[in-house]
Structure 1
Amino acid sequence: MRIAAFEVRDDERQSFDDEARRLGVEVALHEEKLEPGNATMAEGFDGVSTLGLSRLDSSLLETLARQGVKVVATRTVGYNHIDLDAAKRLGIAVLNADYAPNGVAEYAVMFMLMVLRNYKPSLWRGQVYDFSLKGLRGRELRNLTVGVMGTGRIGATVIRCLTGFGCRILAYDPHPNDAVANHAEYVDLETLYRSSDIITLHMPLLPSTEHIINRDTIARMKDGVVLINCARGGLMDLEALIDNIESEKIGGLGLDTVETEEDLIHRDRRTDILTNRGVAYLRQFPNVVMTQHMAFYTDAAVHSMVNCSVEGIRSVLDTGTFRTRIA
């Protein structure tokens, strides 16, 4: 059984070696993302493992199918970079990663606190020995209402984390969870937009959720609303964020992901000329905290992502059950 892994980071290599040895499979590791120009590197392999920068569209999946690939596994929870309809038509099973939600949930709460307590400008001042307080007065989470959009495993864990702060918690999800309802009040989106001081997103990027945060929805929110995104960049309209942070309709942003980030994330671009003006402009605001798509990035999660990928591919091939398994 042979697996070709792409977009492999240095911190994943030991986990891949451990899993290959434990499961008795051969794994070839490649730093490059999988794309049409290097798809021959997967020829003769039974399964392929990637991260989110490899765009597995219909054409690329057809190439993989001709080369004998039967399973594609993404080492991410999100799977919007894979054409599921094409995979189903071609008989290729698709798997996504499943790891404990705690890391991302804790990161989202951290973002809330960083924005509320003006972490970024206070850090800037401290680095030049400016220890003044003017303009740094924050707000306490216990006095605010937090709206959680999406109450799957991560959203539900965010809610559990927030219960200790004593804040009011609103929740929205097309499929309410009875356990979540013990800690949060399920409301419709209009009520959540209108009533929340902080809104945090924990939903997949689908055609129905793309740009769910846009000019119109922001206009229906409270003045000074704080928005948090540790899910997918495409959930928020970048230009709408810029215009509304400029006008101060938005009081603060905590962004671990933003649309158009593909040419930036997880790469050292210090000496490059950057053409991504929206991201470069947005990150300079004192009330905008941005990180490099790393909310997931803990030791436990990295190992789990590799494990899900390798063990999942082996399981599908062993059982001969070639169907999509999306957590």
Structure 2
Amino acid sequence: MTKARIAVFSSKSYDKHSMDAANEKFGFELDYYKTQLNASTAKLVDGYDAISCFVNDVVDTKVLEQLDKSGIKMIALRCAGFNNVDLVEAKKRGFVVSRVPGYSPESVAEHAVAMMLCLNRKLHKAYSRIREHNFNLEGLLGFNLGSKTVGIIGTGKIGLATMKALSGFGCKLLCHDPYINPEAEKLATYVDLDTLYAQSDIISLHCPLTEESHHLIDHEAFAKMKDNVMLINTSRGALVNASDAIEALKSGRLGYLGLDVYELEGDLFFRDLSGQVLHDDVFGLLLSYPNVLVTGHQGYFTDLALSQIADTTLSNIKAYQKGEQTGNEVF
């Protein structure tokens, strides 16, 4: 079988390390591009048999047209989400789009819980104080996590892993999902969204981004929540209307906000912008709040997750090359 040439977009040094290690058993020819895939960079795909891209690559109609012209029909996503791909156009043109649905859900779950603990016990503020030799405890008062009710929106693998972690603290768990997960039922009580908003002290998002879930957390949702609620989003940025979140922070309805994702993160995350002026005023304002914690789409970033992502991505391409399916195809 001919050795396939794969263009790997939005690649960092750690992607190359994990992909090269996984590729030892596949033998593909992998070329790494630091640039994002979009309409202006799509010409780079000429001469390849498949492409691999990440969460902020834009696989829209123009990119799909270029892939078509280049004879490429395989798009291997290195992530679980696929909202960055024009699926209607891809299906119409006969593309195979695969994803990585099952990489170490515990990695994201642990990051979500870490954000809860950091915001609660104000570790980010304490760290800065101690470095300046300020050992005053004023303003660092936290709460016992086990005494709180946590609402989990989305009870797939990551939501379930988050519930398992939080159950160890003794939290009361509520959850919501259009599809009932029997494993989640053992740990949490399924309720409608309004009940979850009204009763939860902490809300953690673990659902995919769809037309229905876009700006799921907006002004209306915040109005139904408790005062001083904590919101954690390690899923997709556009689940939260950032402007409405700022208003909720100002009013005190939102007492803590942890974001590992952001709706317009494509222009920010996975790059070093230190020393530059950020032109996103909404994001800049969020960073100015002492009760807001932002990490740069770091939730998935563990050694185990990177290894599993690389292996699954290349397995998806190998299956396509052999005319087989893995079950990771989007359609």
Percent sequence identity over aligned pairs? 35
Q: CA, structure 1 residues 180+324, in 2 after alignment: closer, same or farther (shift >3 Å)?
A: closer
Of 75, 90, 93, the match for 1:90: 93
Contact 1:214 1:236 in 2 (8 A): yes
Alpha-carbon distance between aligned partners in 2 of 1:103 and 1:322, rounded to the nearest angstrom: 23
Of 34, 37, 42, the match for 1:39: 42
User: Residue 149 of structure 2 aligns with which residue?
Assistant: 145
| Pair 1:210 & 2:229 matched | no
Tell me the alpha carbon deviations over residues 206-235 of structure 1, each in whole angstroms, 9 at most, x when there is no partner: 111010000110010000100000011100
How many corresponding residue pairs?
327
TM value normalised by structure 1: 0.96
| Deviation of the 1:323 alpha carbon | 9.1
| Deviation of the 1:123 alpha carbon | 2.2
| Deviation of the 1:285 alpha carbon | 1.3
Of 76, 81, 101, the match for 2:79: 76
Contact 2:316 2:328 in 1 (8 A): no
User: Residue 230 of structure 2 aligns with which residue?
Assistant: 226
Contact 1:33 1:54 in 2 (8 A): yes
Counterpart mapping for 1:171-320 below 5 A: 171-319=175-323
User: Residue 28 of structure 1 aligns with which residue?
Assistant: 31
| Deviation of the 1:278 alpha carbon | 1.0
Q: Please, which runs of 5 or more residues in structure 2 have no aligned partner?
A: none
| Aligned partner of residue 275 in structure 2, secondary structure | coil
Amino acid at match of 1:300: L
Which consecutive segments of 4 or more residues in structure 1 shift more than 4 A?
A: 320-324
Amino acid at match of 2:37: L
Contact 1:149 1:173 in 2 (8 A): yes
Of 33, 57, 62, the match for 1:59: 62
User: Residue 7 of structure 1 aligns with which residue?
Assistant: 10
| Deviation of the 1:320 alpha carbon | 5.4
User: Residue 120 of structure 1 aligns with which residue?
Assistant: 124
Q: For CA contacts below 8 A with separation 6 or more, give which structure has more relative contact order.
A: 1
Q: Please, which runs of 5 or more residues in structure 1 have no aligned partner?
A: none
| Deviation of the 1:274 alpha carbon | 1.3
Amino acid at match of 1:59: K
Contact 1:91 1:322 in 2 (8 A): no
